[in-house]
């Protein structure tokens, strides 16, 4: 392997320690940041995710409230709960775990969360703020990817960046953040005829597809920074990313592993967003 590893576990530990310090300072001023996590239904993966989010909060001294509901909860009742959390001054961040049961319109639910508490950064207000360069919450996964670039001293300014994937939660906001940082950004997706043609010119590649081996060694410019957002299972059932790690790490300059790369950073950035929501609430109250 020639590439250096971007260690998401180590970086996220550092970020959590900084969050814990800022939480302690807020608590000293009588304010404990609070995150509400709402889970509807029994999706096993969602249950694990919310458990982690709650534990993460508590490990940094924040308060977290987990609200669990049966899959039969009506959309109207869920919207009423979100409105109640919007009005609760002890709650600074609200996260409704996706996916929601099919009878609930996830878009409607996200749009009901107050933009001031939208710590997932999925509200159209947050997306719009990102688009026009106004302050708002950045979606946690792309935000974490930007922190990873910063941690290795990679300034995107003037670089060619390729984002593979155009979802609202990863690909598009990732591209906006890179653009804001003055990279020349190309967004590729399932209708891109020749992905390699783009990735071979890239100094930074972010793969956010959800398919194994989307990026192989022959598609990467020597020395490039490769960030692997994907979460897949290999034939043995082991967690793996979108990138052929064994091959690409022979060509890239820097690479993120899966697991231990973007995943822990996503969790850390939720804490950062929740803390920032509480700090803004504290500033607004002065
Ligand atoms: P998504 O909504 O399914 O989007 C996938 C994107 O990949 C789409 O834009 C799709 O293009 C594109 N795509 C599909 N096949 C392609 C191909 N062969 N070549 C180029 N582009 C292709 O997924 P997502 O929510 O963005 O998540 C992407 C991956 O990241 C998943 O594995 C997910 O589990 C993972 N993830 C990880 C974290 C973390 O914290 N580590 C967080 C979020 C997501 P079209 O738009 O044309 O269909």
72: CATH = 3.40.50.10860
Q: Quick check: is 5 in a domain?
A: no
- Do both 94 and 166 map to the same domain? no
Task: Spell out the per-residue pLDDT of the chain, length 286, in tens.
Answer: 699 999 999 999 999 999 999 999 999 999 999 999 999 999 999 999 999 999 999 999 999 999 999 999 999 999 999 999 999 999 999 999 999 999 999 999 999 999 999 999 999 999 999 999 999 999 999 999 999 999 999 999 999 999 999 999 999 999 999 999 999 999 999 999 999 999 999 999 999 999 999 999 999 999 999 999 999 999 999 999 999 999 999 999 999 999 999 999 999 999 999 999 999 998 888 7
Domain boundary residue among 80, 114, 148?
114
List Cβ neighbours of 250 (8 Å cut-off, separation of 6 or more).
1, 2, 3, 217
Q: Quick check: is 8 in a domain?
A: no
Quote the CA–CA distance of 251 and 274 in Å, as a whole number.
Answer: 37
**Do the bridges between strand 239-240 and strand 232-233 make them parallel or antiparallel, or are there none, so unpaired?**
antiparallel
Closest ligand 1 atom number to CA of residue 261 = 41
Catalytic hit among 120, 203, 228, 244: 120
Question: Is any ligand 1 atom within 6 A of the Cβ of residue 213?
Answer: no
List Cβ neighbours of 87 (8 Å cut-off, separation of 6 or more).
none
Q: Quick check: is 240 in a domain?
A: yes
User: Which CATH number does the domain housing residue 182 bear?
Assistant: 3.40.50.720
- Total domain count, the chain: 2
Question: Is any ligand 1 atom within 6 A of the Cβ of residue 263?
Answer: yes
β-pair partners for 254: 4, 225
- Do both 107 and 150 map to the same domain? no
Nearest CA to ligand 1 atom 6: 165
Domain boundary residue among 99, 114, 129?
114
Question: Is any ligand 1 atom within 6 A of the Cβ of residue 121?
Answer: no
Say how many Å lie between the CA of residue 48 and the centre of ligand 1. 21
Q: Is 97 a catalytic residue?
A: yes
Q: Residue 216 is part of which domain span?
A: 140-263
Q: Quick check: is 256 in a domain?
A: yes
Question: Is any ligand 1 atom within 6 A of the Cβ of residue 164?
Answer: yes
Q: Quick check: is 72 in a domain?
A: yes
Tokens 């001031």 — which residue?
Answer: 116
């Amino acid at each position: 392997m020639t590439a250096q590893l971007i260690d998401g576990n180590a970086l996220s530990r550092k970020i959590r320690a900084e969050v814990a310090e800022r939480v302690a300072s807020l608590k000293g001023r009588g304010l404990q940041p609070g995150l509400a996590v709402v889970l509807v239904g029994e999706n096993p993966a969602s249950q694990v995710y919310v458990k982690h989010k709650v534990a993460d909060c508590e490990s940094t001294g924040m308060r977290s409230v987990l609200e669990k509901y049966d899959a039969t909860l009506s959309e109207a009742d869920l919207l009423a709960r979100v409105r109640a959390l919007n009005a609760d001054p002890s709650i600074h961040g609200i996260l409704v775990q996706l996916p929601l049961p099919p009878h609930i319109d996830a878009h409607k639910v996200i749009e009901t969360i107050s933009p001031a508490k939208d710590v997932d950064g999925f509200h159209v207000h947050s997306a719009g703020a990102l688009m026009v360069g106004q302050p708002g919450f950045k979606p946690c996964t792309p935000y974490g990817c930007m922190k990873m670039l910063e941690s290795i001293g990679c300034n995107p300014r003037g670089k060619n960046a390729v984002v593979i994937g155009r979802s609202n939660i990863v690909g598009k906001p990732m591209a906006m953040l890179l653009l804001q940082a003055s990279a020349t950004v190309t967004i590729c997706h399932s209708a891109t005829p020749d992905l390699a043609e783009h990735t071979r010119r890239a100094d930074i590649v972010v793969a956010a597809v959800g398919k194994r081996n989307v990026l192989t060694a022959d598609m990467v410019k020597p020395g490039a920074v490769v960030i692997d957002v994907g979460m897949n299972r290999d034939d043995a059932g082991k967690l793996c990313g979108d990138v052929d790690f064994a091959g690409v790490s022979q060509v890239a300059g820097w690479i993120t592993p899966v697991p231990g790369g973007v995943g822990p950073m996503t969790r850390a950035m939720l804490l950062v967003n929740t803390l920032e929501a509480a700090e803004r609430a504290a500033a607004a109250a002065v």
